Amino acid sequence: MIQALETYDKSFAEGMLARTSFYLDGDPVLQTLNPIDNEEEIRNNIIAEICSNLNIPSASDNKQAVLNYLDDELEKSTKLDEKAEKKILTRLSAQGELPTDLYTVKIHNNIAKNFTSFSREDESIVMETVKMPDMVYNFNANYGASIFAKFYKEKYNYNSFFLLIVGKREGLIFNVNQVWWLYNDMISGNNFVDALELLKYFVDKFGVEADFRGRTSNFFVDVMAKDENEFQFSLSQDKLTKSKKGETALMTCHFLGQVPDGNNLSIFFAIDIEKYKNYAMKHLQRKRPGE
C-alpha cells in the first residue's frame, strides 16, 4: 500500500486510490460521489508519491503510467482480500463449520459407474444434498469426513427416500466417496437426530462386522496417536450376500484426519454391496398403481 495511505483503514485507502484514478482520468463519476475531508491534500500526496516512485516530475508528464500504478495498487489490495478470505474459509472447512453451499463438490468417477445400475437420480441430486442438506454431521478434523442427508418426497410414499452422502473435506472441496438411497419402508417412523445417526442406522442394516484391536463392530470411530499408521481391520466376509453368479462385493470406507490436538481421527465401516443392491433394486423394479 502507498505510504501516504498507511494511517487510514483499508476500505478508505482503496476508495482514495479509486477516486485519485477517477480524478486523473477526468471521469465524471467523481462528481457524483460525496466529498471527503482533505481529499485534495490526500490525493496530491498519493500522486506525488507515485511520481517519485516512477521517477517522473509530475503526473502530467506520464499520466498513463500513474494510472497504471494506481490500478496495480488496487489489484494487489483486492488479491490480498481474496487470499485472506480463502484462508478463513479453509479454516472453517477444517473445523467443519463452512456453510455447505460454499463447497465445490467433486463426485468420484467410480460412484457414477458403480451406482447407475441401482440409483434413481443423477449427479444434480447429489449436488443439491451437499449444498442444501436437511442434516449434516462434520467430524472436527483436518481433511475430516462429513455426512450429508436430505429427504426427497416422491409421488408414491414408498419411493420417498433419504439421500445419504459420505465424503471428505479438503479445503473448500468436498469429495463425495459414497452415495446411498434409504427408502421410506426402512426409515419410516424413525426420527434421526443428525446425519451421523442416520449413517449408523444404515450401517446396522447393510454393514459388515470387523475386528479391530480386540473389538468387534460394524462402525469404528477412534482417536489414534499421530505417529500411528497401522490400521488393520479384519472383516467377517463369510456372511456376505452373494449375487446370482455367486459373487460378493464389499465397499469399505476409512477416513483419517488430524484432530486439533495433533492426533488422528480414524473412521471405518464396510457395506455389503450385494445386500444393499438387492434392497435398492426392489424399489426400482416396483410397479406403481395403475402400471
**235 plus 128 within the same structural domain:** yes
Q: Kindly report, residue by residue over 108-123, the tens digit of the pLDDT.
A: 766 654 454 434 456 7
**80 plus 138 within the same structural domain:** no
**138 plus 203 within the same structural domain:** yes
> Is 124 part of a structural domain of the chain?
yes
**Which pLDDT value is given to residue 95?**
63
> Is 194 part of a structural domain of the chain?
yes
**69 plus 113 within the same structural domain:** no
Which has more pLDDT, 121 or 188?
188
> Is 179 part of a structural domain of the chain?
yes
> Is 290 part of a structural domain of the chain?
no
Range of the structural domain that residue 136 is part of: 100-285
Name which of 270, 267, 249, 264 is nearest 117 in CA terms: 249
**168 plus 118 within the same structural domain:** yes
221 Cβ contact partners less than 8 Å away, ≥ 6 residues apart: 139, 265, 266, 267
Last residue of a domain, one of 94, 110, 136: 94
**281 plus 141 within the same structural domain:** yes
Question: Residue 192 — pLDDT band, cuts 50, 70, 90?
Answer: confident
> Is 291 part of a structural domain of the chain?
no
Return the C-alpha torsion angle 207, 212, 215, 217, nearest 10: -10
Domain count, the chain: 2
**113 plus 81 within the same structural domain:** no
Q: Kindly report, residue by residue over 241-280, the tens digit of the pLDDT.
A: 877 777 777 777 887 777 777 777 888 888 888 888 888 8
Question: Residue 234 — pLDDT band, cuts 50, 70, 90?
Answer: confident
CB 126 within 8 A of CB 116: no
Has residue 102 got a pLDDT over 90? no
> Is 152 part of a structural domain of the chain?
yes
**61 plus 166 within the same structural domain:** no
Q: Which position has the grid cell 508528464?
A: 61
Question: Residue 201 — pLDDT band, cuts 50, 70, 90?
Answer: very high
Average pLDDT, the chain: 79
> Is 230 part of a structural domain of the chain?
yes
CB 210 within 8 A of CB 267: no
**160 plus 280 within the same structural domain:** yes
Average pLDDT over residues 130-159: 83
* Least confident among 73-77, 204-208, 285-289: 285-289
